Structure 1
């Protein structure tokens, strides 16, 4: 019996839908960037978004065998700059998906928190994608508490739900 599986492209579509929703909401409400935020011990929503896109970019670079961008050089002073980093990261992800990468062969890299590490490209890719979704869910709670409600459904179920 074949078990159901979620593909990388399906998960990427969910992350892109979620990111686009946030990009649009933040473009309409740029004041959200300045809201205080205690997620990840950052001071503002802008810094949380920097963290989200920094992880996307730095892990996409690792998968691409490129040097990791210095975290502190990743801009977070505008919605446009934050999502330009996201777009760059996902352009790299799409190139990796089109390549002949061995998804199960471990690679070595360095992390900001744990230092040197090793994992498979498959694990790194899925971490990159699920990490974003997790923090966007936290951001949704914070935004609602400040009276700004995202106007799109964020659950994966809504990616392929048909009313009957």
Structure 2
């Protein structure tokens, strides 16, 4: 009997679909960037989005053996700036997926909150992907509270659901 597996590419596809939905919604409703937000000790939705893409970028850089971009240098003044960071992070991730990386060999890195740490690249990759999804779910609640309703299904089930 085989066990079901979720591949990195399947999870990346879900994150990209979700990110694209938010990019489009925010392009239509850029006023949402200024909405108040208390998630992760930030003040605005723009800062929450900065946090989402900063984690994507900084972990993609660590996995690529590049210096992590200074968090305060990651822009969040516009939808375009926010998602340019996301796009850059995912270009790094896609290069890594086609490389010969040993996804199970632990690496050492430093985090903003915990300091020095060690984990496998596989764990780091899945963390950055699930981290984005988790915060996008929180953002959906914030958007609805501002009277802006996302118009796409965000559940993973909808990635491969067929009506019968």
For this structure pair, what is the TM-score category when the shorter chain's length is used for normalisation?
Answer: over 0.9
Q: Structure 1 residue 153: deviation in Å?
A: 0.1
Structure 2: state its 5+ residue gaps.
Answer: none
Structure 1: state its 5+ residue gaps.
Answer: none
- 1:1-164 maps to which residues of 2 (within 5 A)? 1-164=1-164
Q: Structure 1 residue 154: deviation in Å?
A: 0.1
Following the alignment from structure 1 to structure 2, what is the Cα–Cα distance between the partners of residues 146 and 128? 27
* Secondary structure at 2:57 match in 1: helix
Following the alignment from structure 2 to structure 1, what is the Cα–Cα distance between the partners of residues 44 and 146? 13
Compute the TM-score of the two structures, normalised by the length of structure 2.
1.00
Q: Structure 1 residue 128: deviation in Å?
A: 0.6
Q: Structure 1 residue 146: deviation in Å?
A: 1.1
Count residues in correspondence. 164
Q: Structure 1 residue 145: deviation in Å?
A: 1.1
Cα root mean square deviation, aligned: 0.3
Q: Structure 1 residue 73: deviation in Å?
A: 0.1
Q: Structure 1 residue 92: deviation in Å?
A: 0.1
Following the alignment from structure 1 to structure 2, what is the Cα–Cα distance between the partners of residues 153 and 56? 22
* Secondary structure at 2:84 match in 1: helix
Q: In the TM superposition, what whole-angstrom CA distance separates every residue of 1:102-153 from its partner, at most 9, and x where no partner exists?
A: 0110000000000000000000000010000000000001110111000000
Following the alignment from structure 1 to structure 2, what is the Cα–Cα distance between the partners of residues 157 and 136? 16
Following the alignment from structure 2 to structure 1, what is the Cα–Cα distance between the partners of residues 87 and 103? 22
